[in-house]
Amino acid sequence: MEPVSEWIGLSLVPGLGIAGYWRLLDFFHSPGKVIRASSQALRQVPGIREKQIAGLSAGKTLLERGRNELVKLERMGGTALSFEDPDYPALLRQISDPPPVIYISGKRELLNIGSVAIVGSRAATVYGKRTAHSLAESLAGFSVAVVSGLAHGIDAEAHAGALAAGGDTIAVLGCGLDVVYPRQNRDLYRRISAQGVLVSEYPLGTQPEGFRFPARNRIIAGISKGVVVVEAARKSGSLITAQFALECGREVYAVPGQVDSYKSKGAHWLLQQGAKMVLSAEDILDEFPPGTLNSPGNSAAGADDAVPTLDPDAEILLNHIEPYAQTRDQLLERSGLSAGRMSELLLFLELDNLIEVLPGDKIRKAA
């Protein structure tokens, strides 16, 4: 097996890109041979440009930079896996343009267990955030690792939900491992590094430029057995991830939202195209033959058994409460209860986590 520092060194050639990297590797069979090849030999590789050949001319410098990058990575508690490393994610090997080397921080063993991606809008609604968190928490209860991109909104809630259940989560970054983006997710970043695993195809110090995120999305799809779109606009990065998933032969799922919600148009479009509708973790797990994901854990499997015994009036009131918010006056009219009795029952239902009271004194059924 070639030293990972040589894989890193070749990846640092300016303007080489993934396609160029694999052209060279197909021709020379190892990154070390590419770096040590003469300009004349490099010109025999179809599709390799003079600018790339010029970048490869400083072979010794590339090897040294690769070794230095690995040292810096190990100092921060990370490591790198080359494509030929046994710990490199097996599913990721199968995509058409896998990263030749990935940088990781955290539990590398998570890269090869059953995982499902949960993605969606950065500017998510309260409904979308709650759904992503709950779904991730349930999947974690079945020992399924939750993959996402550490962005605001749905991504952050997916990671947080998995961690809340004491489960596993994988964050794929669109920047270097030492760059926290967005900064508001710094605490989540640290928790994932300690309890899950951070993954990037970019060397340390790489900044989160816009063009890197579509590339990041192919890794999210490639590393997962399925992709769930919780909430997304019709044109969004989440639909790009779904497209990558289809190209990789992965399952694609979507969570329905309000029919008039702009944030759910992308998910609804996926459903119209044949994506499976997801209302619970079981809808995802049912798609996989027994043993192809993971065995059920304890945290979510018995959740339905914990529903408290309710007062008969509380049961009647709960039947009138919907997942979409309604005002207290609307609920009072529909239930036929007195204002005082309804207020008493709402308090008990809220304490049992069966309802949520929202700003503006609006009420809805909890997920």
CA–CA dist 243, 262 (Å, integer): 20
Main-chain phi, psi angles of 80, to 5 degrees: -130, 145
Taking residue 161's Cβ as centre, other Cβ atoms within 10 Å add up to 26
Nearest to 13 by CA among 49, 44, 43: 49
* The predicted structure's pLDDT at residue 291: 57
Q: What is the 3-state secondary structure (H, E, C) of the chain?
A: CCCHHHHHHHHCCCCCHHHHHHHHHHHHCCHHHHHHCCHHHHCCCCCCCHHHHHHHCCHHHHHHHHHHHHHHHHHCCCEEEECCCCCCCHHHHCCCCCCCEEEEEECHHHHHCCEEEEECCCCCCHHHHHHHHHHHHHHHHCCCEEEECCCCCHHHHHHHHHHHCCCCEEEECCCCCCCCCCHHHHHHHHHHHHHCEEEECCCCCCCCCCCHHHHHHHHHHHCCCEEEECCCCCCCHHHHHHHHHHHCCCEEEECCCCCCCHHHHHHHHHHHCCCEECCCHHHHHCCCCCCCCCCCCCCCCCHHHHCCCCCHHHHHHHHHCCCCCEEHHHHHHHHCCCHHHHHHHHHHHHHCCCEEEECCCEEEECC
Domains of the chain: 1-71 (1.10.150), 108-302 (3.40.50.450), 307-365 (1.10.10.10)
Summarised one tens digit per residue, pLDDT across range 265-309 is 999 999 999 999 999 999 998 877 655 565 444 333 333 444 456
The amino acid present at 53, given as its one-letter code, is I
Sign of the CA dihedral with 78 first, then 80, 86, and 90 last: positive
Summarised one tens digit per residue, pLDDT across range 333-358 is 888 888 888 888 888 888 888 888 88
* The predicted structure's pLDDT at residue 365: 85
* The predicted structure's pLDDT at residue 299: 36
pTM of the predicted model as reported, rounded to 2 decimal places: 0.80
Q: Report, as ranges of residue numbers, the positions in the chain whose pLDDT lies below 70.
A: 289-309, 367
The amino acid present at 280, given as its one-letter code, is S
Summarised one tens digit per residue, pLDDT across range 178-199 is 999 999 999 999 999 999 999 9
